[in-house]
Amino acid sequence: MLVRVATIADVARAAGVSIATVSRVLSPGAVPHPVRADTAERVREAARRLNFIPSPLARGLAARRSGLIGLVVPDLADPHYPQIAIGVEEGARRLEMGVLICNTLGELERLVEYLQLLEARRVDVIVLSGATSLSAEELQTLLRYSIPMVLIGRPAIDVQWPHVSIDNRLGARLATRHLLAMGCTRVVHLSGPRTQTTMADRARGYIDEMDRRLLDIVESNGTPDDGYARLRARLELAPRPDGVFAATDRLAIAALALAADRSLHVPRELAVVGFDDIPLASQLRPTLTTVSQPAYELGSVAIEMAGHSAGAGAGRPSSRVLEPRLIERESTLGPGGRFVR
Amino acid sequence: MLVRVATIADVARAAGVSIATVSRVLSPGAVPHPVRADTAERVREAARRLNFIPSPLARGLAARRSGLIGLVVPDLADPHYPQIAIGVEEGARRLEMGVLICNTLGELERLVEYLQLLEARRVDVIVLSGATSLSAEELQTLLRYSIPMVLIGRPAIDVQWPHVSIDNRLGARLATRHLLAMGCTRVVHLSGPRTQTTMADRARGYIDEMDRRLLDIVESNGTPDDGYARLRARLELAPRPDGVFAATDRLAIAALALAADRSLHVPRELAVVGFDDIPLASQLRPTLTTVSQPAYELGSVAIEMAGHSAGAGAGRPSSRVLEPRLIERESTLGPGGRFVR
DNA sequence: CTGAAAGCGCTTACAG
DNA sequence: CTGAAAGCGCTTACAG
């Protein structure tokens, strides 16, 4: 059943024009070429009839662009990133572009390898998430690549690429303020590695909001296991915290696990707030109060910005910051929203 | 910093040979062409020196293959699929192939759209997960596409493509047997839509193992919310189950939530077993007993099989079935593994 | 507004 | 074993 797929020549023949005209009708380039309306219609009609889909391969070779977007994520196993991938994919689909997925595992070496690959494939633009954990020097390395990029998350130094992020500092303030408002007096912040701007910003927001209260920051490497161990060590010490602001939902889940293992009632003895609003946050018991990161939106906005980057760049596109939102659930309110300390 | 990237002509010039020879050395095709050893070495040396990476675009156009793999998943938000994606991506990387991600949301229409796109892009092979939920007629539709495919999961009817799956029936037997061994006398099966072969097979395994005991199957649409509602309705009726075998971890999490909301102690009053072993399963409290699906392995095996499909197919490659494994945790054993009913 | 033609960077019969 | 050349299916100056 190998039906030969129609080429531009078939369409040209059917419409009685040259392939150049077909191309100009069906693939208006950066500088649109004038074509007579009825000619254009004839071409479109023929294309439709023959079920013609221009070969992205040929087009890419000729026009030096591939119609591909490279999506770099640090870890697909972290539920946050599939959400971003969904947004990127959705946006790309609207632009009729394909998404090449790259999973770096946070290794710089793999990141570089991927960038070379993506460059060789002539991707039009790269959407790079996880750049928040790159140091200044590492970011410098990336500057060697000439491909347009859009970053998700604020990079450690000012770079030439635009980025889209959420206001992590504000989100952290909302979380901390909420814990204080619920009556917590000893709020600890369970942080991820603060070499990441995301984590640094969230810690910053916590510090802001704590004002002159006693700061209590427990730093982990970001994995649930390490978060659990660090927080457990902290609980051995007095005074015991009565509220935890975890820098991510994964860390918050570790905090919930620890509370369960220690038979601490959540939220009465230990209130917990996370960050990210991963899909499972509302399925846990207690359901998790958290700061919602519009991951999907981050992805789709990134694609939007990428469209501009890849196009005839009218100067450096500006970055965008999205608003986080506090989602109040049982881990601070108690079942039914009633929680009086 | 737009360094012109080296082309095959540059390498040919540097090595003092024709571009044909360069191609034959660097990209041995299906039928390898003989080249003198020292010539080959000269070419390789030049390629290395110039940092030459053959353009996948040009190569694809000329050779009618793209070096791309299309990965189709029904839903990236379901934690099971990112695991598969990781395996596929890893395997593809080893083969120096790119992975185009396609998220169908379970809609046939989108699936078809993606297949056309992937065909136009001349992907070498498609790894299709989620085909377990396609009906016989829907699978027929797919037969119209000439691209080689590898399925993840057993399709409803016998098709021309090979598939890799796990033994769902066996996994379900292990889960059910474990619940019975732990002393449960009224085991309910919380199922997903049994139009999916995966769900049908798991229900089948439950039925097998229940032998002549009373069967009690609650079918849901597979989402945690619906699973919660269905199971809740079941709990209103006597006799109350004392064990739940949930067809997926997402459904098991719904069961745990329901138990918490009903103040049923897990596992003493209600033991719960899931299926999939998603990353969070061990982070919950109680930790979740589940059947481990080697999702990563499914992905990498699929790529392995895909390599054969895409190559000069020596007949139809055979399908493979991987072994599931029961992971015993607190939701059936109790903390510390001590659970005596 | 339209077309002939060069060219994108490779692969692969064909000839030697 | 090696090379000249056609061709993959498009885009895009260039000329009219």
Structure letter (DSSP) for residue A167: -
CA–CA separation, A131 and A117 (whole Å): 18
- Closest nucleotide over all strands to A10 (CA to C1'): D9
- Tokens 């947004």 belong to A87
Cross-chain residue pair B86–A77, CB shorter than 8 Å: yes
Cross-chain residue pair A98–B77, CB shorter than 8 Å: no
pLDDT for residue B1 is more than 90 = no
User: What's the N-to-C CA distance of chain A in angstroms?
Assistant: 71
Tell me which chain A residues have a C-beta less than 8 angstroms from the C-beta of B71. Answer: 101
Sign of CA dihedral B14, B19, B22, B26: positive
pLDDT for residue A339 is more than 70 = no
Tell me which chain A residues have a C-beta less than 8 angstroms from the C-beta of B3. Answer: 146
pLDDT tens string A277-297: 998 899 999 999 999 998 888
pLDDT tier for residue A311 given thresholds of 50, 70 and 90: low
User: With pLDDT > 70 as the criterion, what percentage of chain A qualifies?
Assistant: 94
Q: Looking at residue A1, what is its pLDDT?
A: 37
pLDDT tens string A183-228: 999 999 999 999 999 999 999 999 999 999 999 999 999 999 999 9
Tell me which chain A residues have a C-beta less than 8 angstroms from the C-beta of B81. Answer: 82
pLDDT for residue A249 is more than 80 = yes
List the one residue out of A180, A293, A182, A274 whose CA is nearest residue A224: A274
Q: Provide the 10 A C-beta neighbour count for residue A268.
A: 12
Strand C closer than 7 A to residue B54 Cβ? yes
pLDDT tier for residue B2 given thresholds of 50, 70 and 90: very low
- Closest nucleotide over all strands to A40 (CA to C1'): C1
Q: Looking at residue A288, what is its pLDDT?
A: 97
> What b-and-e string marks burial along B311-326, b requiring 16 or more CB atoms within 10 Å of the CB?
eeeeeebeeeeeebeb
User: With pLDDT > 90 as the criterion, what percentage of chain A qualifies?
Assistant: 70
User: Which amino acid makes up residue B230?
Assistant: R
Crossing angle of helices B19-26/B8-15, nearest 10°? 100
pLDDT for residue B300 is more than 50 = yes
Q: Are A299 and A86 in contact (CB under 8 A)?
A: yes
Strand C closer than 7 A to residue B2 Cβ? no
pLDDT for residue A29 is more than 80 = no
Smallest Cβ–Cβ distance between A285 and the set B81, B257, B279 belongs to B257
Tell me which chain B residues have a C-beta less than 8 angstroms from the C-beta of A257. Answer: 283-285
Smallest Cβ–Cβ distance between B283 and the set A53, A55, A253 belongs to A253
Q: Looking at residue B341, what is its pLDDT?
A: 55
Tell me which chain A residues have a C-beta less than 8 angstroms from the C-beta of B161. Answer: none
Structure letter (DSSP) for residue A271: E
Q: How far is the CA of B296 from the C1' of C1 (A)?
A: 56
pTM, 2 dp: 0.89
Q: Provide the 10 A C-beta neighbour count for residue B262.
A: 12
Q: Looking at residue B339, what is its pLDDT?
A: 57
Q: How far is the CA of B32 from the C1' of D3 (A)?
A: 17
Smallest Cβ–Cβ distance between A101 and the set B55, B89, B116 belongs to B89
Q: Are B70 and B102 in contact (CB under 8 A)?
A: yes
| A105-119, B23-37, B175-189, B240-254: least confidently modelled range | B23-37
Tell me which chain B residue has its CA closest to the CA of residue A51: B116
Q: Which protein residues have any CB–strand D distance under 7 A?
A: A 7-9, 19-20, 22-24, 26-27, 29-31, 52-55, 57-59, 61-63; B 16-21, 24, 33-36, 39-40, 58, 61-62, 64
Mean pLDDT, all residues of chain A: 90
Smallest Cβ–Cβ distance between A61 and the set B58, B101, B256 belongs to B58
Strand C closer than 7 A to residue B336 Cβ? no
pLDDT: which is higher, A5 or A21: A21
Cross-chain residue pair B253–A284, CB shorter than 8 Å: yes
Q: Looking at residue A30, what is its pLDDT?
A: 67
pLDDT for residue A245 is more than 90 = yes
pLDDT tens string B140-173: 888 878 788 999 999 999 898 999 999 999 999 9
Sign of CA dihedral B251, B253, B259, B260: negative
Token pair of B92 as six digits: 């593809």
Cross-sheet strand order for the sheet of B271-276: B217-219, B187-191, B243-246, B271-276, B289-292, B325-327
Q: Looking at residue B218, what is its pLDDT?
A: 98
pLDDT tens string A120-152: 888 999 999 999 999 998 898 888 787 889 999
Cross-sheet strand order for the sheet of A271-276: A217-219, A187-191, A243-246, A271-276, A289-292, A325-327
3-state secondary structure of B133: helix
Average pLDDT over residues A80-105: 93
Average pLDDT over residues A252-269: 95
- Tokens 């009633």 belong to A338
Tell me which chain A residue has its CA closest to the CA of residue B105: A86
DSSP line for B32-49: PPP--HHHHHHHHHHHHH
pLDDT for residue B192 is more than 50 = yes
Q: Looking at residue A273, what is its pLDDT?
A: 98
What φ, ψ does residue B332 adopt, rounded to 5°? Answer: -125, -25
